[in-house]
């Protein structure tokens, strides 16, 4: 039997919320305009409809005209209708709906057969699926049924759609004192539409305790979120979040094990302008322990706000994590693109540093560019072995041009500002 001769018709429609349309023309006939004055207004191309002559056309809701965009983490919902267009009944109707992705095929529905579908009657089904993969998705809908003369028939339809990435998430780890580590997360809205970030949290593994640093105390002493209860995020806007992680028990470092450990996952929940909910979880974030490296450089004492073109001093702690003694030499490079440059003699010997020991060195720095600048471009050489370690991201310092901004030193043992 050809498709045009099938007793049943299959229709699929995606269920999504309407959108706001700022301006939509409403056309009408001249005789629909009431009153002479309104006719004169209509002659000037001002449109109105009967019963709403005194209401201006403003933002209205528009039903979706296309399939629309679907983003990773959202819920795909569709309405499936099987309608009997013929004059006879169909029997044992069974609907099958699968979702084919690049990695797998998921069965969305496969319910028991409907014994009979009379002429001009319908079977309705609503399907929902949380989208967890990017790329091309194909909704495959198949219908089995039997005619009145016992003939078994089958047909199916395919509906293809693309799942796109809604957020761009960048993470960065900053080593603190002891076993503390700070996670900086930048969340960018890469959809063409605005969204509200409902929550950004960090689900850590059992070895860590997490402290959310995205709050502050208001004038009354109450805790408030940095970006408010509903963080509005326009297209291409970015929000920055900070979390402090503390080990519950100190790690015993074993050089035979891989120098990476899992921290946890970022959990992000957002809503669209019409309230539709989306949720994403990142893959497991991996932290490289600085103490597993042969050498570590962390700020011991440094200002977090500096004035442009005004030198300041910084105290750095250099730790020898290797099993051998070292002879330390500092090489301070001066890149053209650097916002903060090192002053003083480069390549100076700082003395011997025994295994598992630390030393502090005082350096002079000069801010040459305003804004948030990264302190780096420092090479620490072991004269004994000839090995060199490069540190390009020691800390971040805000450089300003206003003279009234105060400087203040940060004690890294108490907190670590990035």
- Give me the pLDDT at residue 25, please: 55
**Residue located via tokens 């990142």:** 282
Distance (Å, whole) CA 35 – CA 45: 15
Best CA proximity match to 19, nearest among 156, 144, 192: 192
Assessment of whether the complete model's pTM goes beyond 0.85: no
Predicted local confidence at residue 336, as pLDDT:
62
User: Do residues 242 and 213 make contact, with C-beta atoms less than 8 angstroms apart?
Assistant: yes
> Would you state the structure tokens that stand for residue 377, as one six-digit string?
């471009």
Q: Give the residue ranges of the chain where pLDDT is below 50.
A: 1-3, 33-49, 53-58, 255-256, 258-259, 404-405, 407-418
pLDDT at 168: 92
User: Where do the domains of the chain lie, and which CATH numbers do they carry?
Assistant: 3-17+64-164 (2.60.40.10), 23-58 (no CATH), 167-290 (2.60.40.10), 294-411 (2.60.40.10)
CB-count exposure of residue 120 (10 Å: 0-12, 13-18, 19+): exposed
């Amino acid at each position: 039997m050809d498709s045009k001769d099938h007793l049943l018709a299959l229709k699929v429609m995606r269920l999504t919320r309407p959108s706001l349309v700022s301006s939509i023309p409403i056309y009408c006939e001249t005789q629909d305009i009431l009153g002479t004055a309104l006719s004169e207004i209509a002659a000037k191309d001002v449109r109105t409809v009967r019963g709403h002559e005194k209401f201006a056309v403003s933002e209205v809701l528009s039903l979706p005209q296309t399939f629309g965009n679907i983003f990773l983490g959202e819920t795909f919902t569709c309405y499936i209708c099987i309608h009997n267009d013929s004059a006879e009944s169909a029997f044992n109707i069974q609907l099958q709906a699968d979702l084919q992705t690049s990695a797998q095929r998921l069965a969305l529905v496969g319910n028991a057969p409907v014994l009979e579908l009379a002429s001009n009657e319908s079977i309705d089904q609503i399907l929902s699926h949380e989208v967890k993969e990017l790329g091309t998705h194909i909704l495959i809908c198949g219908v089995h049924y039997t005619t009145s003369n016992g003939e078994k028939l089958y047909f199916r339809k395919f509906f293809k759609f693309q799942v796109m990435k809604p957020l761009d998430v960048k993470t960065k780890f900053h080593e603190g004192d002891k076993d503390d580590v700070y996670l900086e997360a930048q969340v960018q809205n890469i959809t063409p539409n605005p969204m509200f970030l409902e929550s950004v949290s960090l689900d850590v593994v059992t070895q860590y305790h997490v402290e959310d640093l995205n709050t502050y105390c208001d004038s009354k002493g109450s805790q408030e979120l940095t970006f408010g209860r509903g963080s509005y995020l326009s297209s291409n806007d970015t929000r920055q979040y900070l979390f402090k992680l503390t080990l519950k028990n100190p790690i015993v470092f074993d050089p035979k094990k891989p120098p990476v450990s899992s921290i946890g996952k970022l959990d992000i929940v957002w809503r669209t302008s019409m309230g539709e909910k989306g949720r994403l979880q990142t893959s497991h974030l991996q932290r490289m322990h600085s103490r597993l490296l042969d050498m570590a450089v962390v700020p011991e004492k440094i200002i977090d706000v500096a004035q442009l073109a005004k030198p300041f001093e910084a105290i750095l702690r250099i730790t020898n994590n290797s099993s051998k003694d070292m002879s330390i030499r500092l090489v301070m490079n001066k890149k053209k693109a650097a916002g903060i440059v090192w002053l003083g003699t480069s390549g100076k010997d700082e003395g011997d540093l025994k295994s598992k020991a630390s030393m502090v060195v005082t350096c002079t720095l000069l801010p040459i560019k305003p804004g948030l600048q990264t302190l780096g471009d420092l090479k620490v050489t072991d004269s004994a072995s000839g090995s060199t370690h490069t540190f390009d991201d020691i800390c971040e310092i805000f450089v300003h041009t206003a003279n009234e901004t105060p400087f203040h030193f940060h004690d890294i043992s108490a907190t670590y500002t990035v």
